[in-house]
Structure 1
Amino acid sequence: MDIAKCLAVIDVLCAREFPAEHGRTEHGESGPGYHIAALHRSGDYWEDDGTAREETAAQFEADRDGLTELLTGRWGPPQRFSLRSVLVRTMEGEDIEEPWAELSEHVPDVHLWQAPVPDRWVCLGVSHGRQELPFQLLGIVTETDPP
């Protein structure tokens, strides 16, 4: 993982305007009020017995923690925000704004900062998807307050 590149992507997302419509970008996806970038992605696990997936999960958490340390130097310590209750609320039919509803489906928690850029939240999370799917270290910038 190229940490300098990850930080540069986060800086780009903080400065970029939000689109009026949902769509793909060179870093991931964006929609009204948010940007989501895949900062790092693993391979898939179709042929894995579970061993490689566990090792990769630990590495992605460590990568997220390393980026967290660097962003803490910029913005102070993050809030650690669990998305599990957001997932439950979404499944019970509550209308949760994006990007939070979508993230709660595959990201158990995020490290969250209120950035000095006006009205922007920045967070880092590890997408855990289904067993055979790749891990992704996600950088998220949004103007939508956490639910």
Structure 2
Amino acid sequence: MKFTKVFIFFTILSFLLFPISGVASALEKLPSSDKTDQWEIMIDKPKNEDVEPKPDVYNMYSMDVQYIGDEDIKLERIEAYRDDPSSSYDFELFTIADTDDFEIDKNSKQPVFNHQNFPLSVQAKELKVIVTWTNKGDSDRKYREEFIFKQ
């Protein structure tokens, strides 16, 4: 009888101290965002639900990129990559380098970018977003910032 009480006590204690699933995916908890002094990147549910995810192949997400710095800049390009556990290199999801694809925020007068849906493989553990821009006063020098969202 005493052994049973001790066993039950330690079993309950182990469930409280050692949760079964302690690590959650950053992209499973949407929206997921990252922010620096210059940029804010938001990964969220797809905005256009016409494209359905394939549960064992890929999930669908949306991305918003907004400049929050205080300089007058020109957005040059946005790149998104995913990793592949079976290789040492990243796979490109998309690259936007046409300035016509970037909008201008009405309030801040700074460039923003919205991607309504993009697929991300369920095997991917990392989403990498690279933003490249120039200052309008010094268009010869490019700046780049990299954001990594982990699953």
- TM-score normalised to structure 2 length: 0.29
Normalized per residue, the structure richer in strand is 2
User: Which structure carries more relative contact order (alpha carbon 8 Å, separation 6+)?
Assistant: 1
Which one has a bigger Cα radius of gyration? 2
Normalized per residue, the structure richer in helix is 1
